[in-house]
């Protein structure tokens, strides 16, 4: 008799994404490499769950991971009265589900799956369909099925008032259309788990949809023997698939006539020759820049559940800037701002920025829509500062399109991010030597600084690391421009 495996909604959904993923998760979990973004999603989900509980006060929260205890407490909550229940547990045929929220109404309980996304996604539908089926089989068919997602038009008024952050959408019809398939999904997952060998699944679209798979490096190990894989072709998914299908692995082996996109042709030519290319247009554009020149970079944070009054979910909120000012005599001044008080940093950010950027001279940035949008949002939030901020927006000079259209070095391997460009120009400014070395780490460092208890020494060390990171971004632009000019 084959061993029967306990299933949960998550396991069934993993199987829906890829049978091999579920098999590996259960039989070889040590091969998983957890995606940091998944951990961030999990943390976000918890915060949104906390808000949901706040929005339905007086409910029963089944806050135990113990299956037996959760089932017993759910049964008793259902018996004891008509009130909201969070994380109710239901079991049928060894399939366990936990319902985010059950809301009592005249005809029974409304099932609400609470999600941190800003709309209903396809994978939410399978998720709630499995919940509904198990609940039906366990004897409590939900009266209605809803997905509650974040309303991104919500503006937080402050004082922990989150009414309106979550928006419920009915998915009754979708659940009704799919529910008959659930027994087949369960049987298929069970039969996959009973196999002694891992299923032979070829990596494909499913490896990144709906979320990146933790076993990607196991199924598709990085090709360490290929210096310039065809995947470095920028924005070339279809072309890469075609080249792979024809057996090409290294871009240098691809005949040039196979490529038609001018960027692909340049990347291919430079990769083969090993010689960097810089067009005269880029040299002329940077030579013409008047002085004083300002080099500017922002760091931002986005919260699923807003923490500062007047802000909304997932809005990019600036908390740090770095600005180098270069005069015609070559004298360089550095100014910076970083607020780690935990309070809303935007007003002080805007005021200090206005003072730093003066009233004339180009403001060099790397990807102007990002800095420009933040300055426009600050102008909207603080009308008394709008004129100066918008004047700053009009002075932005974007280095990124110039690099993208006129510069390429083989070591950039298809990327024009400042972190790919800088080592080709100033190898001594290596980001990997920094404690905080990329935007995600900067956001984590900021969250640690404002949200975690730490010793004064650790706090100061992390604050300095964050300052050093942002300063390097503006220094990098100076190096790029001075190298191109020369």
| Interface contacts to ligand SF4, rule CB under 6 A | 18, 20-21, 24, 201, 203, 206-207, 213, 215-216, 219
Minimum Å gap between C-beta 235 and ligand SF4 is 23
User: Which of 215, 469 has the CB closer to ligand SF4?
Assistant: 215
Nearby residues of 161 by Cβ (< 8 Å), 6 or more positions away: none
**Which residue blocks in 195-328 are alpha helix, DSSP H?**
216-219, 237-245, 262-273, 280-287
User: Which of 56, 218 has the CB closer to ligand SF4?
Assistant: 218
Minimum Å gap between C-beta 33 and ligand SF4 is 10
Minimum Å gap between C-beta 301 and ligand SF4 is 31
Minimum Å gap between C-beta 176 and ligand SF4 is 29
Minimum Å gap between C-beta 289 and ligand SF4 is 47
User: Which of 108, 210 has the CB closer to ligand SF4?
Assistant: 210
Find tokens 């190096």 and name the residue: 479
Closest CA to 474 of 401, 413, 395, 418: 418
Q: CB of 175 within 8 A of CB of 132?
A: yes
Minimum Å gap between C-beta 127 and ligand SF4 is 17
User: Which of 24, 442 has the CB closer to ligand SF4?
Assistant: 24
Give the end-to-end CA distance of the chain in Å, rounded to a whole number.
76
Instruction: State phi, psi for 90 to the nearest 5 degrees.
Output: -135, 145
Find tokens 């009054």 and name the residue: 309
| C-alpha distance from residue 193 to each of 14, 29, 33, 120, 127 (Å) | 12, 13, 20, 30, 20
Q: CB of 392 within 8 A of CB of 296?
A: no
Distance CA 22, CA 285 (A): 54
User: Which of 218, 308 has the CB closer to ligand SF4?
Assistant: 218
Minimum Å gap between C-beta 19 and ligand SF4 is 8
Minimum Å gap between C-beta 16 and ligand SF4 is 11
Give the pair of three-digit tokens for residue 378: 């600050």
User: Which of 21, 73 has the CB closer to ligand SF4?
Assistant: 21
**Which residue blocks in 61-219 are alpha helix, DSSP H?**
67-80, 122-137, 172-178, 182-194, 216-219
Q: CB of 333 within 8 A of CB of 358?
A: no
User: Which of 17, 472 has the CB closer to ligand SF4?
Assistant: 17
User: Which of 218, 314 has the CB closer to ligand SF4?
Assistant: 218
Minimum Å gap between C-beta 236 and ligand SF4 is 21
Distance CA 89, CA 99 (A): 7
Nearby residues of 370 by Cβ (< 8 Å), 6 or more positions away: 298, 316
Distance CA 53, CA 57 (A): 6
Closest CA to 362 of 391, 386, 388, 385: 391
User: Which of 109, 215 has the CB closer to ligand SF4?
Assistant: 215
């Amino acid at each position: 008799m084959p061993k029967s495996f306990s299933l949960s909604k998550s396991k069934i959904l993993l199987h829906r994404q890829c049978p091999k993923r579920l098999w590996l998760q259960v039989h070889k979990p040590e091969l998983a490499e957890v995606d940091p973004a998944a951990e961030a999603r999990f943390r976000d989900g918890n915060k949104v769950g906390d808000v949901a509980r706040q929005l339905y006060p007086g409910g029963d929260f089944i806050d135990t991971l113990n299956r037996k205890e959760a089932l017993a407490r759910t049964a008793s909550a259902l018996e004891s009265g008509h009130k909201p229940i969070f994380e109710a547990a239901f079991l049928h045929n060894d399939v366990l589900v936990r319902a985010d929220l059950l809301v009592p109404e005249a005809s029974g309980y409304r099932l609400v799956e609470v999600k941190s996304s800003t709309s209903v996604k396809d994978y939410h539908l399978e998720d709630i369909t499995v919940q509904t089926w198990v609940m039906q089989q366990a004897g409590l068919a939900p009266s209605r099925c809803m997905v509650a997602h974040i309303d991104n038009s919500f503006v937080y008024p402050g004082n922990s008032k989150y009414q309106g952050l979550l928006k419920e959408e009915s998915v009754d019809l979708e659940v009704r259309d799919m529910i008959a398939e659930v027994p087949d999904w369960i049987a298929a997952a069970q039969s996959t788990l009973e196999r002694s060998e891992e299923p032979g699944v070829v990596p494909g679209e499913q490896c990144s949809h709906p979320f990146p798979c933790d076993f990607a490096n196991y199924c598709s190990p990085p090709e360490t023997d290929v210096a310039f894989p065809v995947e470095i072709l920028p924005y070339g998914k279809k072309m890469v698939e075609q080249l792979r299908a024809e057996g090409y692995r290294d871009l240098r082996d691809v005949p040039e006539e196979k490529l038609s996109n001018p960027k692909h042709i340049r990347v291919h030519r430079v990769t083969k020759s090993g010689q960097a290319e810089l067009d005269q247009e880029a040299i002329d554009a940077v030579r013409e820049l008047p002085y004083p020149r300002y080099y500017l970079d922002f760091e931002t944070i986005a919260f699923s559940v807003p923490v500062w009054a007047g802000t909304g979910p997932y809005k990019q909120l600036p908390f740090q800037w770095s600005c180098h000012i270069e005069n015609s005599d070559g004298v360089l001044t550095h100014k910076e701002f970083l607020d780690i008080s935990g309070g809303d940093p935007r007003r002080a950010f805007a005021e200090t920025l206005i003072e730093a950027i003066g009233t004339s001279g180009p403001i060099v940035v790397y990807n102007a829509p990002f800095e420009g949008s933040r300055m426009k949002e600050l102008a909207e939030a603080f009308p008394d500062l709008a004129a100066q901020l918008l004047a700053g927006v009009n002075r932005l000079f974007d280095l990124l399109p110039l690099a993208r259209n006129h510069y390429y070095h083989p070591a950039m391997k298809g990327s024009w991010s400042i972190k790919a460009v800088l080592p080709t120009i100033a190898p001594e400014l290596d980001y990997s030597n920094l404690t905080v070395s990329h935007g995600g780490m900067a956001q984590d460092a900021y969250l640690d600084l404002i949200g975690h208890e730490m010793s004064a020494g650790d706090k100061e060390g992390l604050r300095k690391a964050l300052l050093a990171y942002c300063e390097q971004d503006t220094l990098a632009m100076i190096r790029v421009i001075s190298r191109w000019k020369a």
